[in-house]
Amino acid sequence: MRMAYIAAGVDDSVLRARSALTVGRSGQFHFSTDLAVATDHAVQLCNAWSFQIADLEELGRSVQAWGWNMRELREYGGHLDEGKISVPSNVDLQVVVAPDTSSEGQKALDNARLVFEELEAVVVPYAERQRVAESALKLVG
């Protein structure tokens, strides 16, 4: 994804990979986000999920846990990198997915889409990941 951002013209200085994200009313929940785009505050968070794996059940649990934390973010906002960068509750959420064409993979993706839709996250196939980067460029431009 970093290469897609750079190719779209997003300056590398605003990209934060695997940043620590803190959410919750009291900042009690901690996890990481795959990529964040931030100037003086976060303008976009992006997570990627591959449905081309053997353990789709574990993937489903991971998506649900991510979704629970993102609901906390949507409710209370959050912070990146130990409070250094604020993340507004209405931050642009982007999800890049590598779908699996098997029936099991499609079912897992359909279930994950319910979580993504509830959070108003934009879901983009991996082959179209440049759309995520172009969206970020507009937000920092």
Q: pLDDT tens for residues 69-86?
A: 999 999 999 999 888 899
> What is the per-residue pLDDT for 48?
96
- Between CA 115 and CA 138, with CA 20 as vertex, the angle to 5 degrees is 70
Model pLDDT for residues 88-136, shown as the tens digit of each residue: 999 999 999 999 989 999 999 999 999 999 999 999 999 999 999 999 9
Q: Tell me the pTM.
A: 0.94
Average pLDDT (41-53) is 96
Percent of the chain scoring above 70 in pLDDT: 100
Q: How many Cα atoms sit within 13 Å of 106 on the Cβ side?
A: 3
Query: SS3 for 40?
Result: coil
Query: Which has more confidence, 23 or 101?
Result: 23
Q: 2-131: which CATH architecture?
A: 3-Layer(aba) Sandwich (3.40)
